[in-house]
Amino acid sequence: MAGFRAYCDFTSGTNFISLKNGAGKLELSPEESRHLCGSLRAVKTDAVEAFDLDGNIFACEISEASQKRAVLNILSKVERAKSDSQIYIAQCLPKSKAFEEIIRQSVEVGAAGIIPLLSEHTLVRFSDNIDAEKKLKKWRVHIIEAVKQSANFSSFELPPPQGFKDFLADSGKFDILIDASLRQNSKPILETLSEASKHLIRPFKACILIGPEGDLTESEYDAAESAGFKPVTLGGNVMKCDTAALCALSCAVNFFMVK
């Protein structure tokens, strides 16, 4: 369906009741209304794909077009095949701008989510849970913008930041674990993915660990390998963490796409 794309909270009071009762109407937030009817200049009867971040999509048509309040008529629910490969980036938090770029690229390339980590060399810290919630809210805006750009409507997970050790303790839920590493024992990423895929049963979850600015410490590398992460190299050059995340994710997404 050609047309515009707009984020919609299907769980909000008005929209939840509308969907539950089969009323067939969705009301966009003031921010989305302003973007759709102001910045993008959408008008009444224009086609819109309304989406959330859980993989739900509705084909709609604008019935009320105002920068203060946009209302959509639901034409149909869009069903899309779910991928049988979910690839996550476990990213030790870099500076704000770099992480925002990692979010955008991860959505556009096709990650299933990003797990923000607090490691020893992480420069970003949170004063309290309220501060972390503010960051999450800001990061969600970048996810939404990337979905609009890429039309990648698959669900995308972004949990609250967690400690490095806590993450490793919970990493057993993944079927493939790789660590973008500068260590000498690292193997080429495609070689490691090929070995890991030989006995892989779909659907599966893979996780790529990316260090922060300043890299992981030796003890963190050791802990990751003890938890089952396979060290991989992305080539002979030393990359910034946002470049490494994009490179590793692109390799993994394309590798499993053709398998």
The answer to whether the 4-77 and 85-258 domains have the same CATH topology is no
The predicted structure's pLDDT at residue 18: 67
Question: pLDDT tens digits, residue range 67-103?
Answer: 999 999 999 989 887 888 999 999 999 988 999 999 9
Reported as a pLDDT band with limits 50, 70 and 90, residue 155 is very high
Give mean pLDDT, residues 126-131. 74
**Identity at 150, one-letter amino acid code:** S
Reported as a pLDDT band with limits 50, 70 and 90, residue 257 is confident
> What architecture is the 4-77 domain classified under in CATH?
Beta Barrel (2.40)
Q: What residues does each domain of the chain span?
A: 4-77, 85-258
The tokens 């692109």 sit on which residue?
A: 250
Alpha-carbon separation of residue 49 from 8, 28, 58, 59 (angstroms): 10, 12, 6, 5
Give the global pTM.
Answer: 0.90
Distance CA 148, CA 47 (A): 14
Q: What CATH number does domain 85-258 carry, 3.10.180.10, 3.40.1280.10, 3.40.50.970, 3.40.630.30?
A: 3.40.1280.10
User: Smallest Cα–Cα separation from 42: which of 5, 9, 81, 97?
Assistant: 5
pLDDT at 1 over 60: no
Output the 3-class SS for the chain.
Answer: CCCEEEECCCCCHHHHHHHHCCCCEEECCHHHHHHHHHHCCCCCCCEEEEECCCCCEEEEEEEECCCCCCEEEEEEECCCCCCCEEEEEEEECCCHHHHHHHHHHHHHHCCCEEEEEECCCCCCCCCCHHHHHHHHHHHHHHHHHHHHHHCCCCCCECCCCEEHHHHHHCHHHCCEEEEECCCCCCEEHHHHHHHHHCCCCCCEEEEEEECCCCCCCHHHHHHHHHCCCEEEECCCCCCCHHHHHHHHHHHHHHHHHHC
Least trusted range by pLDDT, from 29-38, 72-81, 182-191, 229-238: 72-81
The predicted structure's pLDDT at residue 94: 93
The predicted structure's pLDDT at residue 22: 60
pLDDT at 21 over 70: no
